[in-house]
């Protein structure tokens, strides 16, 4: 395959589909960096962010981002981190207190016949897990609002649901043939040089990248569900006690766990109560459904009085089914389509790190795109992004599932052994929080540079780059670079 010798002089036109955390962070990163680094009259990219909803918002309450994600936001642009910080709940706490992730506690009256330290009683501390850096919670809708302020309104289109994309024939160099046709539910279409799918777990772009019939296209039910609610701080204080209500707690029990996190600058507590669905199946088309309070309370009958009291004050409960993605074989196609955030690697929420992965994705992709000089180099940028991001983000999906089982005493190795639980919990986030984002980025750039130089579809590890280093930010197994670059 040869590269076209006359690269286009027109800016590369990018469609970002989906304005959640992934899409907005990418858009903000591209916009802020092009303002600060390049002459606006000589832009390499123009992008349009298409969001299905009428405005940028999201149901759901708190969302936590760890030190890795906060570092990624800073590296992407300090204004992005500042937007996050402006919504932080725990800004009144000391740095040490802000480093606390969760206090994991026994959530049942009797921990049963566990081995090792075995028998804990209700409320006993299993592990006080702290991140080395900051770990905090923001109100999701508020954070999305702040992020959207960083993206010029003329670059966004709300109320535009993408229903399909068509990769067009042609070089697209001189006459702008080729590229991708984006089709919307309202019957309109838009042509762009490339499309980045940030359209979440039920992604249209994922289907296009992987191909109809690929078994990894559809998300799968993880076997876990949760009830979510917000409890006023006064009520939470009465049930949990002053100190416990102001800190994030997780109460573990057989077949379920309940977590509490303070939110809205300490005026309320976000409560999420997980349980395992015995038959492991979810047959409803919708993933969120209203349930009666009695049904919810009955689920936690085996838990301690504190947990039952907490569950008892959630009004109008909704039940959320937790889905995740089977591993995708690639995150990109032909320099024209690319997946980012949940559309690439939707995970269960048990590590509380999936949005953080989306932020990391946005950092890596936007920096790689920043190095692209012409449309012909998009393929190399997307391939480098895939090589850098796929191992780490897919590890999250697997690890998060296991962590959910650990919380619910269902893990074959850990079980309900207090000692083994503590050991697991104290180290389960090491690879997520302590990944070296600067190095990760550097490695992705090296891969990209080598791919830009290469016109071969078969690529080997770039010269001078230790293959294992490529994936040092958390991969379990190095990705084989030998193969199609997409
Ligand atoms: C209960 C729960 C708790 C969680 N807690 C945490 C946590 O504490 N920390 C953490 O890091 N992660 C957490 N997560 C995971 C986190 O919510 C996701 O990883 C994150 O929201 C992914 O962001 P995204 O932008 O990729 O996708 P989404 O947030 O799903 O955003 C996708 C966007 O695309 C839009 N869209 C969808 N389809 C189309 C289309 N066809 N055309 C146009 N627009 C479209 C949607 O309207 C939406 O705005 C949690 C998840 C759940 C379910």
Q: Are 432 and 68 in contact (CB under 8 A)?
A: yes
Q: 314-348 in b/e burial notation, b at 16+ Cβ within 10 A? A: beebebbbbbbbeebebbbbbbbbbbbbbbbbbbb
- How far does residue 450's CA lie from ligand 1's centre (Å)? 33
Average pLDDT over residues 111-134: 74
Residue 422 three-state SS: helix
CA-CA distance, 259 to 271, in Å (whole number)?
6
In short, whether 27's Cβ falls inside 6 Å of ligand 1 is no
In short, whether 53's Cβ falls inside 6 Å of ligand 1 is yes
- How far does residue 18's CA lie from ligand 1's centre (Å)? 9
In short, whether 380's Cβ falls inside 6 Å of ligand 1 is no
* CA angle (87, 92, 94) in 5-degree steps: 120
Atom number of ligand 1 nearest to Cα 342: 26
* pLDDT for 480: 32
- How far does residue 346's CA lie from ligand 1's centre (Å)? 8
Catalytic residue among 90, 105, 207, 228: 228
Any residues with CB less than 8 A from the CB of 279 and at least 6 apart, and which? none
pLDDT band at 20 (very low <50, low <70, confident <90, very high): very high
CA-CA distance, 259 to 269, in Å (whole number)?
10
Q: Who has greater pLDDT, 481 or 320?
A: 320
* pLDDT for 44: 81
CB-side neighbour CA atoms (13 Å) of 95: 3
Q: What pTM value is reported for the model?
A: 0.89
Query: Does the pLDDT of residue 274 top 60, yes or no?
Result: yes
Atom number of ligand 1 nearest to Cα 355: 11
Q: Are 319 and 226 in contact (CB under 8 A)?
A: yes
Q: Which is it for strands 220-232 and 45-51: parallel, antiparallel or unpaired?
A: unpaired
Structure confidence by residue, pLDDT tens digits, 276-293: 999 999 999 999 999 999
What own/partner pairs with CB < 8 Å and gap ≥ 24 does 451-457 have? 451/379, 451/380, 451/381, 451/383, 451/384, 451/485, 452/371, 452/372, 452/377, 452/380, 452/381, 454/380, 455/1, 455/2, 455/3, 456/1, 457/1, 457/484, 457/485
CA-proximal residue: ligand 1, atom 9 (nearest): 352
In short, whether 341's Cβ falls inside 6 Å of ligand 1 is yes
Catalytic: 405?
Answer: no
In short, whether 352's Cβ falls inside 6 Å of ligand 1 is yes
Atom number of ligand 1 nearest to Cα 202: 38
The two structure tokens encoding residue 59: 């149901």
CA-proximal residue: ligand 1, atom 38 (nearest): 199
Residue 16, strand partner residues: 49, 196
CB-side neighbour CA atoms (13 Å) of 116: 13
In short, whether 256's Cβ falls inside 6 Å of ligand 1 is no
In short, whether 19's Cβ falls inside 6 Å of ligand 1 is yes
Domains of the chain are 12-78+140-218+326-411+423-471 (3.50.50.60), 220-324 (3.30.9.30)
CA-proximal residue: ligand 1, atom 16 (nearest): 355
Name the average pLDDT for the chain: 85
Atom number of ligand 1 nearest to Cα 21: 25
Q: Are 182 and 192 in contact (CB under 8 A)?
A: yes
Q: 106-117 in b/e burial notation, b at 16+ Cβ within 10 A? A: bbbeebeebeee
Structure confidence by residue, pLDDT tens digits, 149-202: 999 999 999 999 999 999 998 754 444 568 999 999 999 999 999 999 999 999
* pLDDT for 59: 60
In short, whether 342's Cβ falls inside 6 Å of ligand 1 is yes
Structure confidence by residue, pLDDT tens digits, 79-92: 999 999 998 766 55
Atom number of ligand 1 nearest to Cα 163: 41
Signed CA dihedral, 39, 379, 169, 47: sign only = negative
The two structure tokens encoding residue 106: 């026994």
């Amino acid at each position: 395959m040869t590269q076209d010798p006359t690269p286009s002089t027109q800016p590369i036109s990018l469609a970002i589909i989906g304005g959640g955390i992934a899409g907005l962070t990418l858009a903000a990163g591209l916009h802020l960096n092009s303002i600060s680094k390049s002459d606006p009259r000589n832009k390499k990219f123009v992008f349009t962010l298409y969001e299905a909803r009428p405005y940028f918002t999201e149901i759901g309450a708190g969302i936590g981002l760890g030190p890795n994600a906060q570092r990624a936001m800073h590296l992407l642009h300090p204004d992005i981190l500042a937007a996050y910080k402006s919504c932080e709940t725990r800004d009144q706490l000391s740095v040490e207190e802000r480093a606390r992730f969760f206090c994991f506690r026994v959530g049942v009256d009797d921990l049963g016949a566990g081995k090792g330290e075995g028998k804990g009683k209700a409320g006993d501390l299993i592990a006080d897990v702290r991140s080395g850096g900051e770990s905090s919670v923001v109100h999701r809708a508020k954070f999305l609002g702040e992020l959207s302020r960083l993206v010029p309104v003329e670059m966004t289109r709300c109320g535009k649901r993408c229903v399909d994309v068509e990769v067009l024939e042609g070089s697209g160099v001189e006459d702008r043939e080729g590229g991708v046709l984006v089709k919307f539910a309202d019957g309109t279409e838009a042509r762009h040089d490339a499309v980045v799918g940030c359209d979440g777990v039920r992604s249209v772009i994922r289907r296009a990248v992987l191909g109809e019939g690929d078994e990894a296209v559809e998300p799968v039910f993880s076997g876990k569900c949760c009830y979510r609610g917000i409890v006023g701080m006064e009520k939470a204080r009465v049930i949990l006690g002053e100190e416990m209500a102001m800190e994030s707690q997780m109460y573990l029990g057989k077949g379920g766990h309940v977590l509490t996190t303070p939110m809205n600058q300490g005026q309320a507590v976000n409560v999420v109560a997980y349980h395992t669905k015995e038959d492991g199946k979810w047959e409803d088309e919708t993933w969120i459904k209203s349930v009666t309070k009695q049904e919810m309370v009955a689920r936690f009958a085996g838990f301690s009085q504190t947990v039952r009291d907490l569950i008892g004050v959630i009004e109008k409960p909704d039940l959320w089914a937790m889905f995740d993605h089977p591993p995708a074989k690639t995150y990109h196609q032909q320099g024209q389509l690319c997946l980012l955030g949940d559309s690439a690697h939707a995970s269960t929420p048990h590590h509380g790190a999936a949005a953080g992965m989306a932020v990391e994705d946005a950092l890596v992709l936007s920096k790689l795109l920043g190095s692209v000089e012409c449309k012909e180099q998009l393929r190399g940028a997307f391939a480098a992004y895939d090589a850098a991001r796929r191992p780490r983000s897919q590890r999250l999906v697997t690890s998060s599932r296991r962590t959910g089982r650990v919380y619910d005493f269902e893990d074959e190795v850990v079980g309900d052994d207090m000692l083994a639980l503590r050991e697991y919990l104290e180290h389960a986030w090491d690879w997520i929080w302590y990944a070296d984002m600067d190095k990760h980025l550097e490695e992705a750039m090296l891969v990209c540079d080598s791919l830009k130089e290469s016109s071969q579809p078969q690529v080997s590890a770039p010269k001078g780059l230790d293959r294992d280093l490529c994936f040092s930010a958390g991969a379990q197994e190095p990705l084989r670079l030998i193969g199609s670059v997409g």
